[in-house]
Chains A and B, each alone.
Chain A
């Protein structure tokens, strides 16, 4: 480490500006955290204190950063004690957070066809990345979102047609449609307009239909449950595409001090344990699934 790492993270007492509940124990949380909002990049996360009495904070991906307003948007699902306590916190209250943490996704100019795949509460970094990509000249992203809980937004039929995909897969995330970024929703729950199956099944259909030149411009970005990421990594390998995945792991310090969140990653020197917090959370898929 060199002194350049110093003062790159911020401890903020963030004010809750919005806390909305959605079906399936999902919540959207807006926090006034100006330092974090200003510096967050797609893939960054915050280490949030769900309750002052809990010894461990919870790492939660950033879904959007409104830089001007100093607000970050998060999506979380209740999975245990910490997130359950978090649901009790109301607008106007303060939450302590550390952020923005982690290496973000890296974009490559020679890959102008990013394929963004998000599953469940792994959707937020994909939305942040889409937000970053919108309006970028020559870049044509596609976003595929999968969920087995009702989507935490009102889905609607997309205005952007994708002729190579099955016609029945028409539901989109309206925000992405508004940004002129095509998106499709996937679930096994039979939600209207959603492709029925796995998100990787729909991705495969899309990739299969691409000509060689277009395919060579694709790079995959993914965040979601571990089995989904494993399937995404296999898909990327099948099509010989670069793939970046964002991981999560139980985390204590969030700043690289405790090595509690380390996962096995293949390095040039062989297998190594890398910290999801500061070495990740974004890793090359073929370094994680090997």
Chain B
């Protein structure tokens, strides 16, 4: 597809054209080329590809096991294994075909200074946009994840904002009390968009050895198990974003076109696909086709008309006061 081709699947995201609303998620597709090993897979089937989390210096990552299956999902604790931003910008980005899709960097760090510096390096690169992984531990303040606290989240966004004019997408964590309040702070600090949600922290234990299955003891839960949680978070963040025209990449357990449509209806402008690739590496085409069918059935010209089209049920009087 080219710029001039009108496509019902195309979305405008922070001034970028995505040929389809699908974004391949950071950490699932390496640095953009890994899945092209599979015949039939094409980055063109995704509107954007989010590259692996990148830090200032190379990181080895966590010891095994880094992944394990859980009911309707999986845990991962990779530990940000990456070759460092200089290698990513200098050696990996030049290998990517920017004619196939949009590429989004994913910036991670242990300090505000590191976030700023990694963002600055990507600013001086052909990358299309920058996603901030604010779920990293803040080493200067006891290792609490930046993203679990609205004030710290905003400071990370601010640090990155000072380093770039490129679209900044903040990846919000579900592991916090009020995701909407966090989103508000991030918008004020300069975030152009959001990814909602990052993984939920979880654990699995081998009852024979009585040790956690994941080498890092805990890991991020992804897959269909988290979909209802993710959907609600997208709905909540959309209430904040709507008036500011801030788009959301909805993500968490999407494996079908129907799942993707739920996220779009809840307020997402684009949808992230990660763990679903592990089920089916050619899932993007199926999701695209399913969305097109839906648009046709509902007489809609573009997928952008689906975003935020949620019709909430009329509030009823609480019967028991529980919820």
By a CB distance below 8 angstroms, the chain B residues around A278 are 34, 37
B279 touches A258 (CB 8 A): no
A7 to chain B, nearest CB (A): 4
Q: Is A215 positioned at the interface, with any CB of B under 8 Å from its CB? A: no
User: Is the pair B68, A55 in contact by a Cβ cutoff of 8 Å?
Assistant: no
What A residues does B259 contact at CB under 8 A?
none
Nearest B residue (CB) for A269: B58
* Nearest chain A CB to B317 CB, angstrom units: 39
A211 to chain B, nearest CB (A): 41
Binary A-proximity of B102-134 (CB < 8 A = 1, otherwise 0): 000000000000000000000000000000000
A12 CA to B28 CA, complexed, in Å: 21
Q: Is B209 an interface residue (CB 8 A)?
A: no
Alpha-carbon distance A272/B81, docked complex (angstroms): 10
> Is the pair B61, A257 in contact by a Cβ cutoff of 8 Å?
no
Q: How far is the CB of B101 from chain A (nearest CB, A)?
A: 15
User: Is the Cβ of A10 less than 8 Å from the Cβ of B39?
Assistant: yes
Taking chain A's interface residues, is the majority helix, strand, or loop, or is none over half, making it mixed? loop
Contact (Cβ within 8 A) A258 B36: no
A11 touches B40 (CB 8 A): yes
Contact of A57 among B35, B40, B63, B278 (CB under 8 A): B278
The answer on a CB contact under 8 Å between B28 and A55 is: no
Q: Mark B56-84, 1 if CB is under 8 A from A, else 0.
A: 00001101111111001110101001000
Please tell me if A6 contacts chain B, counting CB pairs below 8 Å.
Answer: yes
B27 within 8 A of A: yes
Q: Which among B38, B277, B280 has the greatest number of chain A C-beta atoms within 10 A?
A: B38
Tell me whether B27 and A258 are in contact (CB under 8 A): yes
Query: B73, A55: Cβ atoms under 8 Å?
Result: yes
Inter-subunit contact A260/B76 (CB<8 Å): yes
**B39–A251 CB distance below 8 A:** no
Q: Residue on A with the closest CB to B83?
A: A272
Residues of chain A lying within 8 A (CB to CB) of residue B280: 96
CB < 8 Å neighbour of A252 from B35, B39, B63, B278: B278
Tell me the nearest residue of chain A to B39, going by C-beta: A7
- In the complex, whether B95 has a CB less than 8 A from a CB of chain A is yes
**Chain A residues positioned under 8 Å from B68 (CB to CB):** 250
Min CB gap A89→B, angstroms: 16
Q: Indicate whether A106 reaches chain B with its CB closer than 8 angstroms.
A: no
Q: Would you call A70 an interface residue if the criterion is a C-beta within 8 Å of the partner chain's C-beta atoms? A: no
Interface size class of B (residues with CB under 8 A): 35 or more
Answer yes or no: A137 CB below 8 A from chain B CBs.
no
Given contacts A8-B37, A257-B35, contact A1 B277 (CB under 8 A): no
Q: Please indicate the chain B residues that have their CB under 8 angstroms from the CB of A272 in the complex.
A: 60
Q: How many residues of A contact B (CB 8 A)?
A: 41
Across the interface, B277 reaches (CB within 8 A) one of A52, A251, A253, A263, namely: A253
Contact B61 A252 (CB under 8 A): no
Determine the distance from Cα of A171 to Cα of B52 in the docked complex, in whole angstroms: 51
B29 is an interface residue with CB less than 8 A from chain A: yes
A258 & B69 in contact (Cβ 8 Å cutoff): no
Chain A contacts for B33, CB-based, 8 A: 1, 5-6
Contact B66 A98 (CB under 8 A): no
| A259 close to B (CB within 8 Å) | yes
Query: Which residues of A have CB within 8 Å of B28?
Result: 253, 257-258
Please tell me if the beta carbons of A9 and B39 are within 8 angstroms of each other in the complex: yes
A52 vs B283: C-alpha distance when bound (angstroms)? 13
- B212 adjacent to chain A (CB < 8 Å): no
CA distance A243 to B74 in the complex (A): 34
List residues of chain B with CB within 8 A of the CB of A81: 69
Is A255 in contact with B35, judged by CB distance below 8 angstroms? yes
Taking the nearest CB of chain A, how far is it from the CB of B56, in angstroms?
Answer: 18
A249 to B78, CA, bound (A): 13
- A271 part of interface (Cβ distance < 8 Å): yes
- Which chain B positions have C-beta within 8 A of A49? 279
Please judge, given known A-B contacts A5-B33, A55-B278, A98-B281, whether A255 and B38 are in contact too, CB under 8 Å.
Answer: yes
Chain B residue at minimum C-beta to C-beta distance from A7: B39
Q: Is A262 part of the contact surface with B, judged by Cβ < 8 Å?
A: yes
Q: Are A11 and B66 in contact (CB under 8 A)?
A: no
Q: Which residues of A sit under 8 angstroms from B167, Cβ to Cβ?
A: none
Report B230 CB to chain A, min CB distance, Å.
Answer: 15
Given A11-B281, A54-B69, answer yes or no on A252-B76 (Cβ-Cβ < 8 Å).
yes
Is there an interface contact between A5 and B36, defined as CB atoms closer than 8 Å?
yes
Instruction: Tell me if A56 counts as interface (CB < 8 A to partner B).
Output: yes
6 smallest CB-CB distances across A and B, nearest first, come from A260-B67, A257-B34, A256-B34, A7-B39, A56-B69, A257-B30
A binding-site residues for B, Cβ under 8 Å: 1-2, 5-11, 35, 49, 52-57, 81-82, 96, 98, 249-264, 271-273, 278
**Can you report 9 A-B residue pairs in the complex whose CB atoms are below 8 A from each other?**
A6-B33, A9-B37, A9-B39, A250-B64, A255-B38, A257-B35, A261-B67, A262-B66, A271-B60
Q: Add 19 more A-B contacts to A10-B39, A260-B76, A264-B60 (CB < 8 A).
A: A7-B38, A11-B282, A54-B279, A55-B69, A55-B74, A57-B278, A249-B65, A250-B64, A250-B66, A257-B29, A257-B34, A257-B277, A258-B30, A259-B27, A259-B81, A261-B64, A261-B66, A264-B63, A278-B34
